[in-house]
Structure 1
């Protein structure tokens, strides 16, 4: 049996052990383990192993030889914790030396034989304080009524909370921003796009007292709202459309999740339902694509798909995959860094290692992959439609096979006489030589009928060198490119990666490069007609690539004009490479024209049936994950995070971190896979769970103001920031829950507050007291994020394509072999003019403009984007082909909408870009620029202006 020594010693018994005799006066669990736990294993546990040393288990101690039972002088552990003549103890490095009593205890333990009960693991004790602010029950505080509260700040409770802390700090808020600033701020905030000049003027001229409220309502109802706020969630969900790691292959079936997120925000789907669908959509709506697609959340992170034959390495890869799901879920919804408890109890928060593996048990059956989504009824209807077609195809295939078998049997009967003609060795990837009578040719070509891998597949082979030799006593290779020859042939991916596998590589004189054939013919045009008598070609001349496919069945043809061809050599008298080639050769020699026609008829009939089968509607196959538990359903704690060191079993159950405030759940160890995820999801959105509404309310605040009330949106633990306005955070979270988890009412409350409507004007006095604007004495100005920059340039240029949904566009060329390469596009055509949220964001696919303005790579979840200022941003925006093209488009738009007068063009440009008219000085300088350097140059300056790229 197993047992746990917890509490003061936090020692875990992980295996059955025969009780060890206690040393005289020293008990390991009572006396020694607490010292190791408190003073040693923080640095010397199985995960950290500082100095390559672990003091967590008896095996570790023996392996490292730091303790010699019974030998005090020979035990190095005692040497490093005791002072010496040269100075104080060398350990522990990061805390005070051990006391004399602690050293004496360890010495007595070693002297008595260093007894360590089998199976006992010493762990650093987890934090135990569950009264931490974020773990307390959610409060619903009464908004304060501070003295001196301005009349305009009385109506919205948010303002009362904010003003109370401003007053306490002796600060005053800024006045309200002007209407032009407000409409631009609110429009960008909710849609990520600039307001049109007409929208700005209409709002500025609207005298009604509810004009601002109606503006907010209109923006919340816009389909652009979901695109903007869905992008925020995709950051949190670590959404990336490639799998990362070394292969980094594109995933084409993830875009439905992006559309699902956008649709959910536009519909104001209750967030508790949003959570449930992302963790267990397949359970809640089986066969309903609009619901099942939510589970893409679990599998839209990076994962290693290379595979590993070593079982231990494969287990680590699998553990890493589930770790990504645990971190994404716990941080996105709960603001807890549960991933820090993978190898040991959390060092700062009351999250045990067992809590981590309770999450692990919930996701143990989740795997990355695409899956067809359909209800049982839909599958039944499709099966009924397919049944007669599949039966008919089976009958045709059987008849064809019988017909072919008869020909093959006849061919075997005549095999001996035909095999007698196969006198030469088989083709060799290291080199094939064909000699023939001297003949004059301007063109020489290799026509391949089969490869070593398939006698009937004439493509996807390699040629590293193709040589044509002149006849006579001094032969030379006349097919070299350096001699003026040219090679043509369809190449694998030549369109995507220019010259990477081109036919020219077959005549470059270097066997280190090679042509990757897409079609069966390689044609070489000589620089001048030549008399030739020999051709040599190879796929692996240096014998460095034994798996390279090569041409095994072929013929050599020559031509004087490239039109009329004559065969001069072939492989028909070479021995076949194996049984498949042998049978294919015999069959081709035996079959009659009539029989070949009959086989063609069979193939045509099969093709027609295939077309009918393909016409039966299919179900969408999306990257939503697959769900099935492994045969061994037991989930155990991995000691030190190592799957090869299993500890105590853990059943699917709620993490204990919230056990004092939230009702938990406990499932059987063999609970079905769907029940595990659904139970966890329901626990996350329980009414008595205080973390989820706090985290969500804080995320909304963060995206409205640039910084959350908690500045670390995904870490509400001890290492995260403390809330700047704790009562306000709880009030917002309580409103969210009261509004049935709908976000739009909370948006409205925040944006209608005077706090949000303040000007962003900088003032020295409050800035000296609150330089980070954490007390919200002004609205924090911000720069547009990466997607907003691109979308804004397209919008003001009149080129933005608002087409929503569907597969994304690419700002790169995707080159895929064993690994993937993403080459940024030099030019962005109209097909790329959609909103940036619809870009197919592959991991590590750096796109110049987006990358320079801090668009995250999404290798990990991003809860708080960086906002850097670098010279490359200015250089890229000024000189990128995209900006130059859009400058021309904006110039054309100004000419269409404002005519030919420079002053009118300048006024229209200011309205489009800034939502205002230029003053006299601005107009004069701009007109001069237009006259002296042209309208596109002025437009280029406008697209690079600070005012365009910043929100006040």
Structure 2
């Protein structure tokens, strides 16, 4: 009997273990790569090229100077050719593993034969070796890099779930979800969607009154009406411009050691105007790259070329002019690569690109388009810089107040009746040389303006100048321009692009999570005349965009990074958006559009610490503005290159020394300290508290009012209970310490309202608590 009981216990235990295994309660530890299923057809671009790029291209890639054994694996012709150092042998022989020396090397047990060599610290895992094996067995078919293929509109995929989806985007997303045995999330609440749409399109939260008005309309096309309303807002242009300033490396100072004033804000105002008027993206690019070369160019078109004058410029005496002139041209070339083409062109400045098929000669052929600009006279005298006058005679456009009404009405002249703005202007043709190691004083062979044929051939019909370059970029057969911009818009809305490395569509960049969707959107964008508002609306009307953002248990394991988009994303807003959000909800935001940049609050002494120009520098001391200028949108905050606005830098804003497409995302204690201690945030909480107390004296729902203003929704019972407890505890404390309350509420320059200081202090701190909530600074 004893043994029978023991046997029963053992059997029950075994059944329990089997049940747990079936349910996935534990996993057997083994090589993770052995359980991955090989694709039915191995794709060169999506399966093989990443393996070769990561492990082989350093020695066997595009860079001829670093190539070993005469073997180049990134091109079909060379990869399948006879090995120059081993006649009669081949690296890859389609359908023949035994004769494929490259394959035999990667599976070798001999450290002298193994590739990559052990000292490289690189190695293929078992799954990658199997992929290469199957690829060779299937014929070792090579393809042009996916991003260099002209995008095509694929047929919409078939899906099983017929009752989900609003447009074509959803077909592609749903197909991928079904392939991974996942389902989409439910639609987000109307309150959530209104806030999401508002943040995405105008960069500001909607006010509670607007939300209630929109919620009252329950028509089928209500979401579309909401999107249209925000697209029509003047704040839309400001929102879109904020992102473009990173690409354009816009700043209000020159950079380098002296880092003195520059006047480029009229160009920034033009960008706002262009977005608000929905200038087609191809035209938007053309004017910025070559507006001065258009027939009968207008002042607006010429002003747009300030895009290529936004780079840092030295004002130091004794510099070698040609060295810095070369640096400026290099900057424009690199900005074209990263900001518009999504390529790391700069890697080919000193040598052939190690991963992408872009030679050093290709790089300087691109460089030649920008090498015709007369850079003389770009130095500025410190005293004259204060008056915004240039020391010599560079290419610039003069704008005066009496012209703005008819010619440039979108520019807010404000305090400055007459200004000079740097623009582009080609001089006599210059001969461009390939520079050895990229050094300005080591010219070698001469080159003509041209573009890499690996991307798209430069037509003989195009002029070999910046206008021709713009036409090449915006040709509908160019494989990169539309793809890159569509991907950037997707990244703006979803936190990351379909290609996560939005700055790099090259071999080392991320592969698209939904390649057919990316191509479909790129073609659709061009078919609709590069209409940016159309593109935004298309994406935002999709069921994919309108999902809830809650992380479901099944997604936590299968798709923790949300690449498949079975839910809407949640991500922290930028530093600029957080500041604007707080100013808006407090009622402090000055909504004036355009004009010279302003100086809001900033910790004292920072500019003095970073100034290296001594008495020559004109930005040696930071003097905050007064009145309404303290509360303008962050877009208009003065941007000094050697010390960008610190409260935005802490939230990952770049320095703007060079073009930046994708901001890094960090999470540090300093960010929490800004939200808790920044004068602007404390003042916003104080002003909101005082206004609510003044406008609704004796209101028992102060906390509810503050919550709704900030989070654009009503608080849940448990939230309200916790916040009310905090408020009434603080109120009791400050009623017994009225002097402490008075000291707390004097923060900020905005006028004090005549209300009870204890109530103000308690409600102010409650508002600050809500401002510090994760939900407040997160778009979900």
TM-score (norm 1): 0.58
Query: Could you tell me how far apart the structure 1 residues matched to 2:289 and 2:621 are?
Result: 34
Counterpart position of 1:853: 651
Structure 1 residues 645 and 663, CA gap change in structure 2 (3 angstroms): closer
SS class of match (2:544): helix
Counterpart position of 2:664: 866
TM-score (norm 2): 0.71
Counterpart position of 1:164: 175
SS class of match (2:701): helix
Query: Could you tell me how far apart the structure 2 residues matched to 1:827 and 1:362 are?
Result: 41
Structure 1 residues 939 and 739, CA gap change in structure 2 (3 angstroms): same
Q: Deviations over 1:693-741 (max 9, x none)?
A: 1111101101010000001112110011110000000000011100101
- In structure 1, stretches of 5+ residues that fail to align are 1-33, 43-86, 97-128, 380-616
Distance apart, 1:622 and its partner CA? 0.8
Distance apart, 1:37 and its partner CA? 5.4
| Matched-pair contact (CA < 8 Å) for 2:500–2:510 | yes
Residue 697 (structure 1) aligned with residue 483 (structure 2): no
| Matched-pair contact (CA < 8 Å) for 2:637–2:645 | no
Counterpart position of 1:276: 286
Counterpart position of 1:485: none
Query: Could you tell me how far apart the structure 1 residues matched to 2:778 and 2:417 are?
Result: 47
Query: Could you tell me how far apart the structure 2 residues matched to 1:703 and 1:825 are?
Result: 34
| Matched-pair contact (CA < 8 Å) for 2:450–2:458 | no
1:664 to 455, 459, 470: 459
Residue 623 (structure 1) aligned with residue 422 (structure 2): yes
SS class of match (1:758): coil
Structure 1 residues 35 and 228, CA gap change in structure 2 (3 angstroms): closer
| Matched-pair contact (CA < 8 Å) for 2:639–2:645 | no
Root mean square deviation, CA, Å: 3.1
Structure 1 residues 291 and 257, CA gap change in structure 2 (3 angstroms): same
Q: Deviations over 1:465-507 (max 9, x none)?
A: xxxxxxxxxxxxxxxxxxxxxxxxxxxxxxxxxxxxxxxxxxx
Q: Deviations over 1:49-78 (max 9, x none)?
A: xxxxxxxxxxxxxxxxxxxxxxxxxxxxxx
2:247 to 236, 239, 246: 236
Query: Could you tell me how far apart the structure 1 residues matched to 2:367 and 2:585 are?
Result: 49
Q: Deviations over 1:489-537 (max 9, x none)?
A: xxxxxxxxxxxxxxxxxxxxxxxxxxxxxxxxxxxxxxxxxxxxxxxxx
Query: Could you tell me how far apart the structure 2 residues matched to 1:340 and 1:936 are?
Result: 52
Counterpart position of 2:269: 259
Residue 319 (structure 1) aligned with residue 326 (structure 2): yes
1:227 to 238, 251, 261: 238
| Matched-pair contact (CA < 8 Å) for 1:285–1:292 | no
Equivalence map 1:63-462=2 (5 Å): 131-147=144-160, 149-153=161-165, 155-251=166-262, 253-284=263-294, 288-306=298-316, 308=318, 313-367=320-374, 369=378, 371-373=395-397
Q: Deviations over 1:897-947 (max 9, x none)?
A: 43332x321121111111122233333333333333222222222222222
Q: Deviations over 1:723-770 (max 9, x none)?
A: 000000000001110010111111111000000001000112122111
Counterpart position of 2:408: none
Structure 1 residues 827 and 851, CA gap change in structure 2 (3 angstroms): farther
Distance apart, 1:838 and its partner CA? 1.1
SS class of match (2:446): strand
Aligned residues: 587
Residue 899 (structure 1) aligned with residue 688 (structure 2): no
Counterpart position of 1:946: 774
| Matched-pair contact (CA < 8 Å) for 2:261–2:619 | no
Distance apart, 1:95 and its partner CA? 6.0
Counterpart position of 1:782: 571
Distance apart, 1:820 and its partner CA? 6.0
Query: Could you tell me how far apart the structure 1 residues matched to 2:315 and 2:363 are?
Result: 24
Query: Could you tell me how far apart the structure 2 residues matched to 1:754 and 1:35 are?
Result: 49
Query: Could you tell me how far apart the structure 1 residues matched to 2:224 and 2:540 are?
Result: 9
Query: Could you tell me how far apart the structure 2 residues matched to 1:41 and 1:896 are?
Result: 80
Structure 1 residues 373 and 819, CA gap change in structure 2 (3 angstroms): closer
Counterpart position of 2:126: none
SS class of match (2:483): helix
Counterpart position of 2:680: 882
Query: Could you tell me how far apart the structure 2 residues matched to 1:684 and 1:738 are?
Result: 16
SS class of match (1:647): strand
Equivalence map 1:726-741=2 (5 Å): 726-741=515-530
Q: Deviations over 1:437-473 (max 9, x none)?
A: xxxxxxxxxxxxxxxxxxxxxxxxxxxxxxxxxxxxx
Query: Could you tell me how far apart the structure 2 residues matched to 1:879 and 1:372 are?
Result: 42
Counterpart position of 2:450: 653
Distance apart, 1:327 and its partner CA? 0.6
Query: Could you tell me how far apart the structure 1 residues matched to 2:477 and 2:650 are?
Result: 43
Structure 1 residues 35 and 297, CA gap change in structure 2 (3 angstroms): closer
Structure 1 residues 707 and 948, CA gap change in structure 2 (3 angstroms): same
Query: Could you tell me how far apart the structure 1 residues matched to 2:170 and 2:346 are?
Result: 37
Q: Deviations over 1:603-638 (max 9, x none)?
A: xxxxxxxxxxxxxx99752122443246xx211111
| Matched-pair contact (CA < 8 Å) for 2:397–2:423 | no
- In structure 2, stretches of 5+ residues that fail to align are 1-62, 72-111, 122-141, 379-393, 404-415, 731-761
SS class of match (1:755): coil
